[in-house]
Amino acid sequence: MLPVDFKIDSSTGVTLLSNAFIDHYMKDANEVQIKVYLYLLRSVSAGKTVDLNMLADDLNYPEREITRALRYWSNQGILSFRQDAALRVSGNDYYEGRISGIYLQNPQPVPFTAVSPRSTNPFPEELSSAHLAFNSVPQQQAKQPAAPMLPDPDSRKAGYTLNDLRQFKAQPENACLLIAAQQYLGKPLSEVQFRSLLFLSEGLSFSPELTDYLLQYCIGNGQKSFHYIEATALAWAEQGITTVEEAKTVTQPKPDPESSYIMNLLGRSGTPAPQESRLIHRWLHKYAFSMEMIEEACSRTVMAVENHRFTYAEKILKSWHEKGLHTLDEVNAADEAYHQAAYPKTESGSAARSRKSGFCNLESQQYDFLEIENKLVDN
């Protein structure tokens, strides 16, 4: 039999994947975590700069799932990421400090009985210190330490006994906390909620004062679900927050100058709410509008509505974005085309159309307001 000539097209792009990752790390990771890692590895090999929004859009997962995947790999020690500001949580969305950089590290090779690895360095040298820049942050910044490992709330709470709950309640400072929690909720605590408060104290080492502030913050934002409260507490713990003062710095962040300016354009002051911050970020980065375009949208909003101005401005800017209008000249041309179609000229040349009243059949009289204005000025 003649030998088969086998070749590989050299023009085909290739992303190198560590054997150590396949042998050791991949088996315990879920679908999202694997996809995120492969996407980052592909971006490194292509020299591509990405951001959190791009990851979420390309992989079709919410940003909070992407962030959890990054945190998982950080805990595994094969990447670390850098964050700018601290965490804010609202509704079911996680508004964390903006991820500004990711540092991919070599997965440590481990012995594999089926196939022995040929090399102790599964990545080539140029990928050994690969660093993905987010939002154009310089790549030379040092990597951050991995986030601390936190206990699992469900398994920890399931192990609490009635004696554990009694001892927790017997402490004077905790008794005051339980009373305050019932006042915030407006009803007695259930056993499940009781166990959650014990978890915050025993599992996350939250002081009664920090737990009290956590309850005030979450319930004050309309979130009475203890699942949400636990998620917020875990996020704070991962950020290393241990005092009320540290918690206040992350729940009461100062808005950036652009956000403050846009708030003022819409007649608002103070710190934007999380949903408002998300809309502002969308206008500036996803829609990529200039401040001139945002000013025009805000001006139209203020003249049109008194309430729900962020929602109204979002409708305007989303419409412009979908129509591909990104300059004022394009917007004005589109407005003119719309008016020409909505109010076509009559045979006499007037731009206004004759309208009939529902109560009488008389045609409304046409006025030349420009001529009237000129006469008033002359007089």
Q: What is the pLDDT of residues 228-264, one digit of tens each?
A: 899 899 989 988 899 999 998 888 766 678 888 999 9
User: What is the pLDDT, as a whole number, of residue 116?
Assistant: 38
Domain annotation covers residue 206: yes
Beta-carbon contacts of 326 under 8 Å, excluding residues fewer than 6 positions away, are 288, 289, 290, 293, 320
Do 47 and 116 fall into the same domain? yes
Do 24 and 129 fall into the same domain? yes
Domains identified in the chain, total number: 3
Q: Which strand (E) or helix (H) includes residue 315?
A: helix 309-323
CA 341: distance to chain centroid?
Answer: 40
User: What is the pLDDT, as a whole number, of residue 283?
Assistant: 94
User: What is the pLDDT, as a whole number, of residue 109?
Assistant: 59
User: What is the pLDDT, as a whole number, of residue 177?
Assistant: 94
Do 273 and 300 fall into the same domain? yes
Do 164 and 238 fall into the same domain? yes
Domain annotation covers residue 146: no
- Point out the residues of the chain with pLDDT beneath 50: 1-2, 6-8, 10-11, 85-97, 110-131, 133-147, 347-365, 367, 369-370, 373, 377
User: What is the pLDDT, as a whole number, of residue 62?
Assistant: 82
**With contact defined as beta carbons under 8 Å apart, do 258 and 279 qualify?**
no
Q: Say which amino acid occupies 1.
A: M
Domain annotation covers residue 223: yes
Q: Which residue from 104, 185, 102, 105 is spatially nearest to 137, judged by alpha carbons?
A: 102
User: What is the pLDDT, as a whole number, of residue 150?
Assistant: 81
47 burial (CB, 10 Å; 0-12 / 13-18 / 19+) is: exposed
Integer angstrom CA distances of residue 235 from 130, 148, 239, 245: 27, 11, 6, 16
Q: Specify the residue for token string 């008016």.
A: 339
Do 163 and 238 fall into the same domain? yes
Find the CATH number of the domain harbouring 85: 1.10.10.10
Residue-wise pLDDT tens digits, 188-213? 999 999 999 999 999 999 999 999 99
Domain annotation covers residue 7: no
Domain boundary among 251, 286, 315: 251
User: What is the pLDDT, as a whole number, of residue 255?
Assistant: 60
Domain annotation covers residue 376: no
Domain carrying residue 180: 153-251
Domain boundary among 76, 98, 133: 133
Do 205 and 271 fall into the same domain? no
Percent of all residues in the chain with a pLDDT value above 90, rounded to a whole number? 32
pTM exceeds 0.85 for this model: no
